[in-house]
Every structure is written in structure tokens, then in C-alpha cells.
């Protein structure tokens, strides 16, 4: 029991970390960035390249890859979203162009690293274990859970207590009003993408380290889960994404343990459906859709 809770929290922290970035962009811009999973993947390969080719220790490679992911996010926004922003249908066209970027990034990764599974060298991270009541937890798992929580707290602090955070929230309410008030909307949106992609990249590197299995299509396994998590948590709600991430992780683990792995997605998504019927705005979503 204790071990399964650890397993669930661990899986949930990766979902939460991935979904945080996903929901941040949605909260600010009301668009789904479908390239988020591709950045998740690209950052992992970046960390892998730093570790294997340039012999970086992982505690340097991780922040470097996260920074890289953030920069890719800025480029992504500049290339795939900004040119479309003035259009009336920018939500849908942005969705499509981000899907195009995702496809391109996956193709590039396929070309560079090939379709086979790549791995961090054995011993990149200590696999030391810590005994807890009812099970064991590796230092890596603790690190990942801690990183997820710290990133969530840092993001909350950033959005509520800093100037850029206030600007982000202002743009989320109304880009036009924000612009009238002197906010540099383009810069705020670029920062949002930087933060979002950095979070996605962090999730990717930690995922790659946790399961030591890195491939160009690795983003697909979390893409749908991430979407489920942000819907479940309430679109655009960050505490909701974290709560829903952990909830989905725990649900999956207990379904696998008690019903079998084949039931995992069926039960998880049935639960998602049920919650949305009972609570359409999601667990922590604001009542009623906000008109940006």
C-alpha cells in the first residue's frame, strides 16, 4: 500500500509537472500548445547529449536542458503562434501550427537520434534507495517529487508576487486592457512560453531519468495524460493541474494493481468523463468560462 502510494505520487508528479506548463499557456492565451510534448522530448534528448557527448554531470545537464527547452518555447511562440495571433480564428490555427511544429521536431529527433530507444549511461544518477514505512523509494524518485512541488511553488510565487506575474495575469484577463495599461503583451506572452516550455522540458528530463527510456515518440505517452490532467484540474488552473496530476497518477497505479494494466486508461478516462459531467469546470476551475 505504502509502496503503491509512492508509485502513484511519483507518476503523478511527472504528470503534474508536464501539465503545469500545458495549462499555463492555456490560462494565459486560451490556446492548446500541442508542441508541448515535443519540447518534453527535445529537452530530454538535449540532456542526454550533454551527458553523453559533453560529459556534463546530470545536475548541470538538467538546468541546461530546461533552459534550452525554454528558449525553444520562445522560438515556438515566435514561429507558430505570433504570426497567427491577429487572426479571428487564432485558437484553431494556433492549434494546427503547434501540431505542425510538434511533427517537425519529432521528425528532426528521429533523424538525429534514430527510432531506437536511447538511454542515459548507467550510473548517471545514483540509484540509492531510502526505506520508508511499507516500501522503498529511490533518491531519484524523491528528487522528482521534490522538483515538481518546488516548481509549482515557485510558479505560484512568480505569478502572484512578481511584476512579470502580475503582467501575465493581466494579459490572461485581457490582452487588450493590458496593452492599454502599458504592458508589453508580446514580451509577456514570450515569457509565458519560456516558463511553460521550461516546465515541460524539466518534466521530460526527469521522465527520461526515471524510466531511462528516451525516444522521439516519448512525448506521446504523456500528451493525452497531460490533456486529461488540465481538463480535470480545470483549464488554466495551476493548483488544479497539480492536484489532478497526482490524482491521475494514484488512480492509474491502483487500477493497475487491482484490476490489471489493460484497465488503466479505460478507468482513468471514465473517471475523467464522470467528473466533467458532475463538475464541468474541472476540480479547481473557475465557475463559468472566462472570456478573455
Partner 1 sequence: MRNHRLAPGLPRTFAAGLALVSLWPAGAFAETVVKIGAALSMTGPAAVYGATQKAGILAAVEDVNRSGKLPGIKLEAVIEDDASTKEQGIAVYQRFINRDKVSAIIGPTLSNTATAADPLAQAAKVPVVAVSNTAPVGITDIGTYIWRVSLTEGQVIPGALARLKAKLSFKKAALFYGNDDAFTQAGYKVMKGALDAAGIPIAGTQTFAKPDKDYSAQLTALKALSPDILLVSALAENAAGIVAQARQLGWNVPIMGGNGFNSPAFIKNAGPAAEGVYVGTAWNKVSTDAANQAFLAGMKGRGVDPDQFCAQAYTGILVIAEGIRLSGGKGSREDVRNGFLKLKNLTTPLGPFSFTKDRDGEHPSSVQIVRDGKFQIVP
Smallest separation (angstroms) from partner 1 to the CB of 141: 9
Q: For residues 109 and 195, which CB has a smaller minimum distance to partner 1 in the complex?
A: 109
The set of cell numbers assigned to 146 is 521534490
Smallest separation (angstroms) from partner 1 to the CB of 9: 11
Does residue 281 interact with partner 1 by CB under 8 A? no
CA distance 37 to 33: 9
Q: How far does the chain reach from its first CA to its final CA, in angstroms?
A: 44
CA distance 170 to 92: 23
Does residue 102 interact with partner 1 by CB under 8 A? no
Total length of the chain: 292
Q: For residues 28 and 38, which CB has a smaller minimum distance to partner 1 in the complex?
A: 38
Q: Pick from 258, 266, 286, 289: which binds partner 1 (CB under 8 A)?
A: 258
Q: Pick from 92, 110, 117, 224: which binds partner 1 (CB under 8 A)?
A: 117
Q: Pick from 54, 157, 211, 273: which binds partner 1 (CB under 8 A)?
A: 211
Interface with partner 1: number of residues (CB under 8 A): 33
Smallest separation (angstroms) from partner 1 to the CB of 253: 4
CA distance 16 to 145: 10
Does residue 39 interact with partner 1 by CB under 8 A? no
- b/e map 253-290, b = 16+ CB within 10 Å: bbbbeeeeeeebeebbeebbeebeeeeeebbbbeeeee
CA distance 81 to 279: 31
The set of cell numbers assigned to 126 is 545514483
Looking at residues 125 to 144 of the shown chain, list those that interact with partner 1 (rule: CB under 8 A): 127, 129, 131, 135-136, 138
Does residue 262 interact with partner 1 by CB under 8 A? yes
Q: Pick from 221, 269, 271, 275: which binds partner 1 (CB under 8 A)?
A: 221
Whether residue 94 contacts residue 31, with contact meaning beta carbons closer than 8 Å, is answered with yes
* Cβ neighbours around 137 below 10 Å, total: 18
Binding site for partner 1 (CB under 8 A): 3-4, 7-8, 10-11, 117, 119, 122-123, 127, 129, 131, 135-136, 138, 207, 210-213, 218, 220-221, 252-254, 256-258, 260-262
Amino acid at each position: 500500500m505504502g509502496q503503491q502510494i509512492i508509485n502513484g505520487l511519483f507518476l503523478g508528479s511527472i504528470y503534474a509537472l508536464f501539465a503545469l506548463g500545458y495549462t499555463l499557456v492555456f490560462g494565459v492565451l486560451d490556446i492548446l500548445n500541442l508542441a508541448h510534448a515535443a519540447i518534453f522530448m527535445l529537452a530530454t534528448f538535449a540532456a542526454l547529449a550533454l551527458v553523453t557527448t559533453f560529459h556534463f554531470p546530470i545536475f548541470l545537464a538538467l538546468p541546461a536542458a530546461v533552459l534550452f527547452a525554454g528558449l525553444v518555447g520562445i522560438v515556438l511562440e515566435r514561429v507558430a503562434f505570433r504570426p497567427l495571433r491577429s487572426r479571428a480564428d487564432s485558437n484553431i490555427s494556433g492549434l494546427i501550427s503547434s501540431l505542425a511544429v510538434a511533427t517537425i521536431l519529432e521528425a528532426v529527433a528521429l533523424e538525429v537520434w534514430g527510432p531506437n530507444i536511447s538511454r542515459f549511461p548507467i550510473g548517471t544518477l545514483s540509484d540509492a534507495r531510502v526505506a520508508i514505512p511499507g516500501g522503498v523509494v529511490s533518491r531519484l524518485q524523491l528528487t522528482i517529487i521534490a522538483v515538481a512541488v518546488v516548481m509549482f511553488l515557485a510558479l505560484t510565487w512568480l505569478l502572484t508576487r512578481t511584476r512579470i506575474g502580475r503582467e501575465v495575469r493581466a494579459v490572461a484577463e485581457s490582452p487588450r486592457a493590458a496593452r492599454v495599461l502599458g504592458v508589453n503583451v508580446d514580451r509577456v506572452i514570450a515569457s509565458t512560453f519560456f516558463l511553460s516550455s521550461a516546465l515541460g522540458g524539466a518534466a521530460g528530463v526527469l521522465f527520461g531519468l526515471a524510466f531511462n527510456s528516451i525516444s522521439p515518440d516519448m512525448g506521446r505517452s504523456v500528451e493525452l495524460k497531460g490533456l486529461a490532467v488540465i481538463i480535470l484540474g480545470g483549464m488554466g488552473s495551476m493548483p488544479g493541474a497539480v492536484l489532478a496530476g497526482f490524482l491521475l497518477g494514484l488512480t492509474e497505479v491502483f487500477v493497475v494493481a487491482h484490476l490489471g494494466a489493460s484497465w488503466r486508461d479505460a478507468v482513468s478516462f471514465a473517471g475523467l468523463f464522470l467528473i466533467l459531467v458532475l463538475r464541468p469546470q474541472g476540480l479547481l476551475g473557475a465557475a463559468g468560462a472566462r472570456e478573455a
